[in-house]
Amino acid sequence: MTPDDIKRVVLDVLTRIAPEVDPASIQSGVSFRDQLDLDSMDFLNFVLALHDRLGVDIPEADYPRLYTLDGAVAYLASKSVRAAAP
Amino acid sequence: MPSLGSDMEAGTLVQWLKHPGDAVKRGDIIAVVDTQKGAIEIEVFEEGVIESVQIKQGEKVPVGTVLAMIRGTGPERPRVPAATAPPSAPAREGPPTPAAVSAPQKTPHEEPSRRRVSPMARKVAADLGVDVTQVEGTGSGGAITREDVERAAAALKTSAAHKPSAPTARAGDMRAAIASAMARSKREIPHYYLSSTIDMSGSLAWLRAENEKRPVAERLLPVALLIKAVGLALREVPELNGYWIDGAFREGTGVHVGCAISLRGGGLVAPGLHDADRMDLGTLMRQLSDLVARARAGSLKSSDLSDPTITVTNLGDQGAEAAFGIIYPPQVALVGFGKIAERPWVCSGKIEARPLLTATLSADHRATDGHRGGVFLAAVDRLLQAPEKL
């Protein structure tokens, strides 16, 4: 899965949680919680959906790495490469 | 028409999901009602067979109006009015509505569907422009039921479903409902406010270790611990758990914690977690997650809204340091939690950075005095220091 594919999944998951958000308006380096008005339950659902869609295990200690679009794509790309490796 | 909060005066029957002749049991959804808080599914609290429905679809009636009559299944069981508030729910304060629960039974609007086309099916067919001769009947003896008509209508793409109000109108209605309840609260309830700072380092450390063991779908949020601690603390100070009705306190039957949930389009609902003091944290978290999802999807049930005995607001999630809330009448208390943030804390004569939480209590001074409120907040603090026992 390419970083672009991962980005599409992340944006899709986010816009399901916050349907009023235009994915094109999401700024890559700004925290989702600040720009999308997510609460902790939304964030938990975000992590859960990424886990389900990408099949990556996301320990709670890594949550801060998912706070921005850039961070999330980089983190998930590293995890899915590792998951795909033999 | 059950009361789904003190701010509700009337509701519009959108759709009957059960019909005369249908057997119902406790917990079945029998109708959908439109309120200022959105469309709510109405549950039934009796077991039996629906004898008649008293309200037509589209009709707006005051809280307390009988919606349907249910005949009990046993030979001696009397008929009971259905779909009124559950027995434990508070009566709405204020002057009684003209059509109370005890309103005399009217002539049923329809009969059990033993004919080939039930009267309701005919009416719905007429409303939806469906030709009943073209509809396949699945009812008793091949009778055409309302569902058959609706299926046919859906197939014709003439929606039989309730058309929700435009989002702006819905937001306006909800704003009006909140305005009414909060203005009444501030007009009638002499609030007192207490706050307490709680060291959350023990709770958060326990939570981190616990979540490491749990799969993503079963992980806990700090709010689950907070709600459980509130539930248990209310056992120690039960005079904060209940309602102020007709000049007196009535203790709630059970601890049903209303959770203030902000909606994405604006507005707020506070559906209840039933028996929050009895649930283990995993169950509590699952139910909370389900409640938030349903509140935001607009699919709450009547039992979610009819009987919370206290409200918890967790505005800390949005970053506020402390929340001093307004009580949701006829409840007598509201607990507010602020953001858990590292702040200086003095421990054994030293200043340390600790994750601290400001917990507040807004309480009705008619029902309790500040001393008991203080005892309650101290109990919440003590319980959060032993998270493994929650």
% pLDDT > 70, chain A: 93
The arithmetic mean of pLDDT across residues B134-138, rounded, is: 74
- Please give the pLDDT value at position B384: 98
- Please give the pLDDT value at position B76: 52
Tokens of B193: 């406010």
- Please give the pLDDT value at position B139: 67
User: Which CATH number is A3-84 given?
Assistant: 1.10.1200.10
The arithmetic mean of pLDDT across residues A43-64, rounded, is: 93
Among A20, A37, A60, beta carbon nearest to B219: A60
Q: Is the pLDDT of residue B81 over 70?
A: no
pLDDT in tens, B186-208: 999 999 999 999 999 999 999 99
Asked if the Cβ–Cβ distance from B264 to A58 is below 8 Å, we say no
Among the residue ranges B151-160, B211-220, B314-323, the one predicted with the least confidence is B151-160
Q: Which residues of B touch A61 (CB under 8 A)?
A: 208, 212
ipTM for the predicted complex: 0.88
Q: Which residues of A touch B317 (CB under 8 A)?
A: 39-40
* Residue of B216, B262, B264, B340 to mutate for A, most A C-beta atoms under 10 A: B216
Q: Write down the domain spans for chain A.
A: 3-84
- Please give the pLDDT value at position B158: 42
Q: Write down the domain spans for chain B.
A: 10-155, 170-389
What predicted TM-score, i.e. pTM, was given to this entire model? 0.76
Tokens 């209940």 correspond to what residue? Answer: B242
- Please give the pLDDT value at position B105: 35
Nearest to B5 by CA among B74, B90, B81: B90
- Please give the pLDDT value at position B264: 83
- Please give the pLDDT value at position B79: 59
The arithmetic mean of pLDDT across residues B243-253, rounded, is: 96
Nearest to B278 by CA among B302, B301, B257, B262: B257
The alpha helices in chain A, defined as continuous H runs, are 3-17, 32-36, 40-54, 69-84
* Residue of A31, A34, A41 to mutate for B, most B C-beta atoms under 10 A: A41
How many CB atoms within 10 Å of residue B157? 6
pLDDT in tens, B84-113: 444 444 444 433 333 333 333 333 333 333
More confident residue, A80 or B212: B212
Please give the CATH topology (third level) of the domain spanning B10-155.
Answer: OB fold (Dihydrolipoamide Acetyltransferase, E2P) (2.40.50)
A-B CB pairs within 8 A amount to 37
Q: Is the pLDDT of residue B294 over 90?
A: yes
Comparing alpha-carbon positions, the chain A residue that sits nearest to B291 is A41
- Please give the pLDDT value at position B80: 57
Q: Which residues of A touch B289 (CB under 8 A)?
A: 41, 44-45
Please give the CATH topology (third level) of the domain spanning B170-389.
Answer: Chloramphenicol Acetyltransferase (3.30.559)
- Please give the pLDDT value at position A81: 59
The arithmetic mean of pLDDT across residues B66-84, rounded, is: 67
Q: Is the pLDDT of residue B253 over 80?
A: yes
Nearest to B273 by CA among B265, B263, B286, B264: B286
Asked if the Cβ–Cβ distance from B216 to A40 is below 8 Å, we say no
Most confident of A25-34, A37-46, B240-249: B240-249
3-state secondary structure chain B: CCCCCCCCCEEEEEEECCCCCCEECCCCEEEEEEECCEEEEEECCCCEEEEEECCCCCCEEECCCCCEEEECCCCCCCEEEECCCCCCCCCCCCCCCCCCCCCCCCCCCCCCCCCCECHHHHHHHHHHCCCHHHCCCCCHHHCECHHHHHHHHHHCCCCCCCCCCCHHHHHHHHHHHHHHHHHHHHHHCCEEEEEEEEECHHHHHHHHHHHHHCCHHHCCCHHHHHHHHHHHHHHHCHHHCEEEECCEEEECCCCCEEECEECCCCCEECCEECCCCCCCHHHHHHHHHHHHHHHHHCCCEHHHHHCCCEEEECHHHHCCCCCCCCCCCCECEEEEECCCEEEEEEECCEEEEEEEEEEEEEEECCCCCHHHHHHHHHHHHHHHCCHHHC
Asked if the Cβ–Cβ distance from B208 to A60 is below 8 Å, we say yes
At B9, the amino acid letter reads: E
Q: What is the rounded average pLDDT for all residues in chain A?
A: 89
